[in-house]
């Protein structure tokens, strides 16, 4: 096998390996792919850090609730709560298992997870709770379908695969409040793509340097 053939073979192996890794990530093969972190704004103390594995672990959670011990919100729509739908990027592959996608009412956006919160309201009016409702939860489709289109307390945020700060939308910023971050459907970080590109360029350049001067194409 010539040096040029070895370079081409190495490139193909690298591309295939990367494609498999991306496929595993998008299919939920990465553990703890749904996560919620709640941090105290004043002290910086992490008050809650929970995750949901996809595919689900035996006996694992399908919903994350802070504070721990609070009851889930009812599946019906509540105008006093804040709802943030984490939507999949355009062109994302379908979910594994062949389950039909759940669309945000009035849109073509597929919802992968839902954050529901009462943190922005007066503490005297009831418990201040935030929950991350995974699409694994049996009430997920019912809750999403109950969201009225264009409601002022319903927001859509495109997921990035990294921890995303939702504090502004939840109204939890400032001293005495909390920072709420969520991570939905882990995907390869942009740096991974950059490293792949640099690797391919380096291998291609190495092959060109080793090509004999004046050799045939």
pLDDT tens-digit map of 3-56: 666 666 655 655 554 454 444 444 434 444 799 999 998 899 999 999 988 766
What pLDDT digit, counting tens, does each position of 84-137 carry?
999 998 776 666 555 689 999 999 999 999 999 987 655 555 568 999 999 888
- Signed CA dihedral, 191, 16, 112, 70: sign only: negative
Task: Tell me: do 80 and 139 sit in the same domain.
Answer: yes
pLDDT single digits (tens) 184-207: 876 544 444 444 555 555 555 555
Range of the domain at 20: 1-30+187-217
203, 162: one domain: no
Global pTM?
0.69
3-state SS assignment for residue 87: strand
- Into how many domains does the chain fold? 2
Residues 144 and 119 in one domain: yes
Q: Are residues 132 and 102 in the same domain?
A: yes
72 with 145, same domain: the answer is yes
**CA distance linking residue 35 with residue 107, whole number of Å:** 25
Strand 46-52 relative to strand 34-40, pairing = antiparallel
Rounded CA Rg of the chain: 22
What is the per-residue pLDDT for 44? 92
């Amino acid at each position: 096998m010539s040096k040029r053939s070895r370079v081409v073979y190495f490139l193909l192996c690298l591309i295939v390996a990367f494609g498999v890794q991306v496929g595993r990530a998008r299919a939920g093969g990465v553990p703890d792919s749904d996560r919620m972190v709640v941090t105290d704004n004043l002290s910086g103390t992490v008050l809650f850090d929970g995750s949901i594995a996809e595919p689900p672990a035996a006996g694992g959670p399908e919903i994350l609730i802070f504070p721990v011990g609070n009851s889930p919100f009812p599946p019906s729509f509540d105008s006093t709560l804040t709802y943030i739908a984490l939507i999949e990027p355009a062109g994302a592959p379908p979910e594994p298992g062949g389950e039909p996608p759940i669309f945000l009412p009035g849109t073509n956006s597929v919802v992968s997870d839902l954050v529901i919160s009462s943190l922005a309201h007066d503490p005297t009016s009831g418990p201040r709770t935030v929950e991350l409702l995974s699409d694994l939860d049996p009430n997920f489709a019912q809750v999403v379908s109950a969201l009225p289109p264009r409601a002022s307390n319903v927001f859509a945020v495109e997921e990035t695969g990294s921890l995303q700060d939702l504090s502004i939308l939840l109204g939890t910023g400032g001293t005495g409040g909390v920072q709420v971050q969520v991570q939905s459907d882990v995907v390869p970080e942009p740096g991974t793509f950059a490293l792949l590109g640099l690797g391919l360029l380096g291998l291609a350049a190495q092959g060109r340097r080793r090509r004999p001067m004046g050799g045939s194409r």
